[in-house]
Amino acid sequence: MTASVTNIDESRPPVVDTLKVLDKVSGSVIEELPVNSPERVTEMVENARRAGQDWSQLSVKERVKYIKRARNEVAKGRTEIFSLLERETGKARADVVGELLSVCMDIGHIASKAPGWLKTRKVGTAPLFGKKGRIVYKPHGVVGVISPWNAPLTLSLGDAVPALLAGNSVVIKPSELTPLAVKRTIELMNRVLPPSVLQVAIGEGAAGQALVDHVDMICVTGSPQTGRRVMARASQRLTPVLLELGGKDPMIVLEDADLDRAAAGATFGSLLMGGQVCMSVERVYVEAAVAAEFIDKVVENFREIRVGANGIDAEIDYGPFTSANQVNIVESQLKDALEKGATVLIGGKRTGEGAGVYFAPTVVTNVDHSMEIMKEETFGPVLAIQVVKDSHEAIELANDCQYGLNSSVWTRNIARGIEVAKMLEVGNTCVNECVLSAGVQNLNFGGVKASGLGFRHGGPEGLRQFAVPQSLLIETRRRKTEFPWFPYAPKQAGHLDKLIGLMYGR
């Protein structure tokens, strides 16, 4: 789930003293926060490094106990978190509650698995027989997390919790648009966590730069442009990076698909959280034989979508944009498409009244790859549908993109759907499903091409990326010498020569 985060430029941007966080419906100031200077962020990292010395010495099971107790504190304070998250993002209450629920479920899953996944592993030692081999998992040190505005809790704690379980201390810099729920959640967790093990830095680009410059691992969710800048900056210290970047996720509808389900999936997948999700369905390739029927069903579904101001009792499916600037990107792409011959079947314009920035559910047809709307991330409630002659054309067009995050294939022939899915140049693919693969804890979630580097979830590898594997070779026998040691004898080379011949041919 990505959104643009504050740019991290080579030159340090000016630092502001306070940060005003706005209610996305009313436009009023929810809270004004003091901004952490680069010097303060550097100090926070050093405090985290000191705190991490004791934290890393705890057993994994002891760290699990802390994390579970911290989750309990968050659950107790959930009403306040819901309110903050709803106001600062503009999202529907169902999305807000679902976000915190998914975080709590993820914590439970990874906490139950962490002791086994981080346990020292025994490995063979061939060709050095008789010795012992071990792989131990040690923390990087301080992990920095730069998270976006569209899913503030999921995309900050989704990295922070496994990093903590692996023995790291963590500093999170949430988006300047949505820092309140993250800040409050960390305050609640810190009721039980040791001091300075988990901290939050408030600020814009300067705070993010300071974090990149001093941590031992950096995790960023944002745009490809931001990812490249972070990676370039981190390379100066060879700091490991985890990047989840943008998406332009394709949906392929084959002629034997269940069109009712596919249309419903396209509606949900493109309009969830107002389309402000990195794995949103943004472009559809539908086979010509069923295109007209499919498009009609999608348009009818879009007519039923409710857009408006959020609230605990609001009957809406999505609310205003979290970032008012994002609507300019949506409108620019639509303008480009219309000028090149596209047709808007429904929506295509701003809607609603008041300070919030709303956009109507939009379906666009007669599109092709000369248009930005088929190539660049839209990140809004817009679905572009292109008719294709067959699955081969659909696959070719789906892969004709710089992004490679998520995708979906819709067909009644499951075996065929899996084969088509394997041909897509993406990190994740669903068959007769969309978007929800990101919430499956045992599936990797990450992108290829410009969509990122590394992954979340996915079993032990998803946790172990927050640790440094250290290899141990151990000799327990009392031996005075070894065959490869000095002094060399001419017959050694001869023995090795014969061994190569016996094993691999003369």
**What's this model's pTM, rounded to 2 decimal places?**
0.94
pLDDT band at 354 (very low <50, low <70, confident <90, very high): confident
Q: How far apart are CA 409 and CA 400, in angstroms?
A: 16
Q: Are residues 220 and 173 in the same domain?
A: yes
Mean local confidence (pLDDT), 163-178: 98
Residue 320 three-state SS: coil
What's the longest Cα–Cα distance across the chain?
Answer: 89
Q: Are residues 295 and 365 in the same domain?
A: yes
Q: Is 146 part of a structural domain of the chain?
A: yes
In the prediction, which pLDDT does 8 show?
A: 52
Share above pLDDT 90 across residues of the chain, in percent, rounded to a whole number: 91
Q: Are strands 456-457 and 444-445 parallel, antiparallel or unpaired?
A: antiparallel
Q: Which has the closest alpha carbon to 145: 230, 63, 36, 56?
A: 230
Mean pLDDT of the chain: 95
Both structure tokens of 33: 């926060």
Amino acid at 493: A
In the prediction, which pLDDT does 6 show?
A: 44
Query: What region does 464 belong to: left with phi over 0, alpha with psi -120 to 50, or beta?
Result: alpha
Q: Is 487 part of a structural domain of the chain?
A: no
Q: Are residues 212 and 290 in the same domain?
A: no
Q: Which has the closest alpha carbon to 89: 353, 326, 319?
A: 319
Active site residues: 244, 278
> Is residue 505 predicted with pLDDT exceeding 60?
yes
Between the CA of residue 140 and those of 166, 199, 207, 244, what are the distances in Å? 9, 17, 21, 19
In the prediction, which pLDDT does 4 show?
A: 41
In the prediction, which pLDDT does 244 show?
A: 95
Q: Is 83 part of a structural domain of the chain?
A: yes
Instruction: Report which secondary-structure segment, H or E, holds 171.
Output: strand 169-173
> Is residue 167 predicted with pLDDT exceeding 80?
yes
Q: Is 359 part of a structural domain of the chain?
A: yes
Q: Is 313 part of a structural domain of the chain?
A: yes
Q: Are residues 43 and 145 in the same domain?
A: yes
Q: How far apart are CA 129 and CA 198, in angstroms?
A: 44
- Asked if 309 and 421 count as a contact pair (C-beta separation under 8 A), the reply is no
Q: Are residues 255 and 300 in the same domain?
A: yes
State pLDDT tens for residues 464-488: 999 999 999 999 999 999 988 999 9
Q: How far apart are CA 172 and CA 201, in angstroms?
A: 6
Q: Are residues 106 and 253 in the same domain?
A: no
**How many folded domains does the chain comprise?**
2
The CATH number of whichever domain residue 383 belongs to comes to 3.40.309.10
State pLDDT tens for residues 21-39: 999 999 999 999 999 999 9
Share above pLDDT 70 across residues of the chain, in percent, rounded to a whole number: 97
Residue with the bigger pLDDT between 496 and 414: it is 414
**Helical spans, DSSP H, in 78-165:** 78-89, 93-117, 154-165
State pLDDT tens for residues 79-106: 999 999 999 999 999 999 999 999 999 9
- Full residue range of the structural domain in which residue 61 is found: 19-245+457-468
Q: Are residues 150 and 178 in the same domain?
A: yes
In the prediction, which pLDDT does 266 show?
A: 98
In the prediction, which pLDDT does 2 show?
A: 45
Q: Cβ neighbours of residue 55 under 8 Å, at least 6 residues apart?
A: 63, 164, 167, 168, 169, 194, 197
Mean local confidence (pLDDT), 329-355: 96
Both structure tokens of 413: 């022939």
In the prediction, which pLDDT does 471 show?
A: 98
State pLDDT tens for residues 3-21: 444 445 444 455 569 999 9
> Is residue 506 predicted with pLDDT exceeding 70?
no
Both structure tokens of 278: 């990195």
Q: Is 103 part of a structural domain of the chain?
A: yes
Q: Are residues 213 and 253 in the same domain?
A: no
Q: Are residues 344 and 210 in the same domain?
A: no
Q: How distant is the alpha carbon of residue 375 from its chain centre?
A: 20
Q: Are residues 212 and 328 in the same domain?
A: no
State pLDDT tens for residues 108-157: 999 999 999 999 999 999 999 999 999 999 999 999 999 999 999 999 99
Q: Are residues 119 and 196 in the same domain?
A: yes
Q: Is 500 part of a structural domain of the chain?
A: no
The CATH number of whichever domain residue 239 belongs to comes to 3.40.605.10
Mean local confidence (pLDDT), 203-232: 96
Helix 180-189, helix 60-76: angle, nearest 10: 120
Q: How far apart are CA 506 and CA 503, in angstroms?
A: 9
**Residues facing residue 473 across a β-bridge:** 133
Backbone angles phi, psi at 387, to 5 degrees: -85, 135
Q: Are residues 230 and 359 in the same domain?
A: no
> Is residue 1 predicted with pLDDT exceeding 80?
no
Q: Is 481 part of a structural domain of the chain?
A: no
